[in-house]
Chains A and B, each alone.
Chain A
């Protein structure tokens, strides 16, 4: 198993034969992959492919119909509190209580993760992400980039071993996006692992150590971006999608088709 950090080989997330169903519809069908310590792992797929359902099962938001999810050796179904205390999560669409200031929000979530942090400690952490001027403001009054920074701060406030990010750059301007990737890289340098979903193949190619392509609820392939490109550069579907040098996006479109999904 690859050691990406020199901290020793370790699987931080083990998703084994995961099955998620909504009534008669199967959203995730037997998905298996691992995320290693210090790795940035991208989960890619078209709309409705099963990415968010997979993430929801890992986060403990929904009960899988089959399979197993283990976070740092802890089974999320058997011991959700222990598993969730090792996870940091930034959801695709989530919010905080509109009546609370960002300082109060940070204090609340520190408590939910069992951290006793002084008021000064909370303020310092908020200042660290460039929101020192906004301490007394409400979440809704922040800009999109500021909201995203606060969400990320909350997600890592307890220094999780695995950070889950569901389309973290969606709706961000280039500056905010660049700052976010800097932070994610910084988290990885500290020994953390990151599992993210994104629609930006360019970003996935640039930042992910490995990517998994999921479609119609099934895992199509797991490899490094460079490995994927090398393996599929001569695939007729990929050649047809390419407009010059073959990119991860060409491979993605070649593997999942070019029709627009809902």
Chain B
């Protein structure tokens, strides 16, 4: 058995092509995400659940949470799907792999570090887009809404922006925090804070001050952005502010997440 181990030879050392490296990383990261039930559950089940719950509560009496109509509800569902998979899925997976030494093992190969990290982000964004399509189809069936092709394209574009924003925030979390348990706890706390801020702020039941804060929060900004493109005639300054805030969070999160990220915990 021992004699069968491939022996090294002086012919090794050929510079590997980036295409092959990146393809291998993408395939592995897709497999990991596909097998990670938690991430898929957060990514797809949470938004579908929101669509169903909001549908069950509509119609009986005036409800501030459903007052925004189908566009608001679908936007809300998409936002929470993107947020859950990033803050509780991506950040925890990166923290765990870093703690286990997975990144260090990869870093001793010729794979560039940017390829190791962006591969995970690209895979997560693709899953976000798949989630967007599923949620919009189910939302369309439940709320009997139809959008033009331009709006579908805008939806995908906003989902890429929203996914990038929450991934940037998640990257900032794993950049600033080394401990797996603390990353897990902070991800959950942020999720709850953003959830409440988005829901209560957007409904304006806590007054205009909270609504203004909510409009500039990650969840509020993205809900406004989704709401704007799903009902283009209602696009206003709040939607524009949402776009500005989303881009701002992407830039800040990416800067913090790259600047302070460490590949090992020790």
Chain A contact residues, CB within 8 Å of chain B: 7, 37, 59-61, 72, 74, 80-82, 84-89, 91, 93-100, 104, 107-116, 125, 128-130, 152-153, 156-163, 179, 182-183, 186-187, 189-192
Residues of B within 8 A of A (CB): 1-17, 20-21, 23-25, 27-28, 31-32, 35-36, 97, 100-102, 104-112
Question: How far is it, in angstroms, between the C-alpha of A115 and the C-alpha of B21 when the chains are bound?
Answer: 9
Which single member of A86, A100, A109, A129 contacts B13 (CB below 8 Å)? A86
Query: In the assembly, what is the distance between CA of A38 and CA of B5, in Å?
Result: 16
**Nearest 7 interchain pairs by C-beta:** A114-B16, A190-B7, A111-B24, A192-B8, A182-B2, A86-B13, A128-B4
A-B contact pairs, 25 of them (CB 8 A): A61-B104, A81-B112, A82-B110, A84-B109, A86-B12, A93-B101, A94-B100, A94-B102, A95-B101, A97-B97, A99-B31, A99-B32, A100-B31, A108-B27, A111-B20, A111-B27, A112-B21, A112-B111, A113-B16, A156-B5, A156-B6, A156-B8, A159-B6, A161-B9, A187-B8
**What is the chain A residue whose CB lies nearest that of B22?**
A111
CA of A7 to CA of B7 in the docked complex: distance in angstroms?
Answer: 15
Q: Is B28's CB under 8 angstroms from A97's CB?
A: yes
Contacts across chains A and B counted by CB atoms under 8 Å: 154
Cβ contact within 8 Å between A72 and B13: yes
Tell me how far the C-beta of A71 lies from the nearest C-beta in chain B, rounded to whole angstroms: 8
Tell me how far the C-beta of A112 lies from the nearest C-beta in chain B, rounded to whole angstroms: 4
- The CB with the most chain B CB atoms within 10 A, among A72, A89, A114, A186, is that of A114
Determine if A187 and B5 form an interchain contact, defined as CB atoms under 8 angstroms apart: yes
Contact check, B100 vs A161: say whether CB atoms are below 8 A apart: no
Contacts of A153 in B (CB 8 A): 5
Whether B5 and A84, one on each chain, are in contact in the complex, defined by CB atoms closer than 8 angstroms, is no
Residues of B within 8 A of A187 (CB): 5, 7-8
State which of B1, B17, B32, B104 has its C-beta within 8 Å of the C-beta of A114: B17
Q: Which residues of A contact B35 (CB under 8 A)?
A: 99
